Structure 1
Amino acid sequence: MVVRLKLSSGAILLGTVLHRNFHRRESNRKTLKWNQIIVLTPSGDRRMVAMKNRRAPNNQAMAELVAYVDGGCLGNPGPSGIGVVISGLAGGPVRIAKWIGNQDNNVAEYAALMEALQYAVALKARTLHVYSDSQVVVRQMTGEYVCRSPRLYSLHWTCRKLARSLKFSISHVRRELNAEANRLAQTALRRR
């Protein structure tokens, strides 16, 4: 393999990799990782280069997200909206409010959960912890309840599939602790 390396002195080293070792040293607080590469230059010289492994940038790709989700409707079924508040992002929390048409309350709750999951998967987040005030959604997602409703089954299946692509957990929270997501859902369902 031919490489082009920029050395700390600013010089460019061109050559063929002869040997590569991966080293790891643990100190009391951090783990240092680097590659040791032996390069054969065009002039025939052998040069050993130690390179630190690049860490992933501190961005959403490694984010641990927390989402508060809520779905609501006027009447059951009736005009429905979802509210999602996602925190843990570098730029501050993201607030999502969407009108989803005429649905019942459980469909709206699942739609809110799906919105949070799709957002986390799109950001390639590592973990997502969801808080919802819907016992039905929380208990079906944790496996305490079996989802038998034909109108909820496809939503439940899609959410389970999305949840498998990251470290996912969901917890029930009282309605007053989910006030911001509830406010967004109420705003969305009145928007139409």
Structure 2
Amino acid sequence: MSKILMKVDGACYPNPGNMAIGIVIYKDGELFKKISEAIGYGTNNIAEYKALIRGLEEVKKINPERIDVYCDSQLVVKQLNKKYKVKNKGIILLFNRVEEIIRTIPGKIYFIWDRRDNNFMADGLAKRALAEEEINKRKKAAKDVRVEKKDGYFLVRSSKSGKSYKVDINIPQCECMDFLKRARKLKLECKHIMAVRTFLQEAERKRETKNRL
């Protein structure tokens, strides 16, 4: 039988918002598996529990004799160690699911709080999945805008709301609230900046095609 060390983390932005999980599993001291997944909409605490559930479901296949689970959420760890009661109805369902999985694993399981800077790999995996989800969402939305080139900047108009936003692609910067409040904090670009980049790429392709003729 094997010994498992598992580090889990959940990410959510904003809170509540899009969620993602990161899991790193070591089997007998060797890296066994890394998991990075976007998991929909919810809260930070839900993301932490979802990461834990996903990880436990993975390691129970190994039938380990011991599992050390590290998590940077003190609340979750204390709830699992029965030091805090679970009061939130949504979390109770997830807590009960964890208990169900634990009963199917014959080995001992320990839940240990870990500082975030010690949990950097799982944290990074969760943030990567979250960033990919946010990027894909904005790429899709960027198809529904119209770009106009102005003197030194671009004006991007939303086809749904009709609002226009000024984009400086050299910085890059946009005056929309998504860029100012969310995308910039995640080190991402908003749909308007993405649309301008696509506009410029298409213009360059047209120039290259014309030059070849």
User: What TM-score, normalized by structure 1, do the two folds share?
Assistant: 0.65
**Whose strand fraction is larger, Structure 1's or Structure 2's?**
1
> Structure 1 70/135 Cα, relative in aligned 2: closer, same or farther at 3 Å?
same
SS at match of 1:168: strand
Identity %: 33
Task: Give the structure 2 partner of residue 80 of structure 1.
Answer: 19
Q: Which has the larger radius of gyration?
A: 1
Greater fraction of residues in helix: 2
1:156 matched to 2:131? The reply is no
Partner of 1:63: 2
| Deviations, residues 28-67 of structure 1 (Å, cap 9, x unaligned) | xxxxxxxxxxxxxxxxxxxxxxxxxxxxxxxxxx111000
**Distance in structure 2 (CA, Å) of the matches to 1:149 and 1:104:** 12
The equivalent residue for 1:114 is: 53
Q: 1:70 is matched by which residue type in structure 2?
A: D
Matched, 1:172 2:116: no
RMSD across aligned C-alpha pairs, in angstroms?
1.4
User: Offset of 1:85 from its aligned partner?
Assistant: 0.2
Between the aligned partners of 1:162 and 1:155, the Cα distance in structure 2 is 11
1:171 maps to a residue whose letter is I
Write out per-residue CA displacement over residues 56-95 of structure 1, whole angstroms, 9 at most, x where no aligned residue.
xxxxxx1110001000111001111000000025873310
Amino acid at match of 1:187: R
Task: Show structure 1 runs of 5+ residues with no match.
Answer: 1-61
Alignment of 1:18-37 (within 5 A): none
Matched positions, count: 131
Q: Which runs of 5+ in 2 are unaligned?
A: 134-213
91-100 or 140-149, which deviates more: 91-100
CA distance in 2, matches of 1:171, 1:191: 29
In 2, Cα distance between the equivalents of 1:82 and 1:148? 23
Q: 1:189 aligns with which of 130, 138, 144?
A: 130
Please say which of residues 100-109 and 157-166 is displaced more in the overlay.
157-166
What amino acid sits opposite 1:116 in the alignment?
G
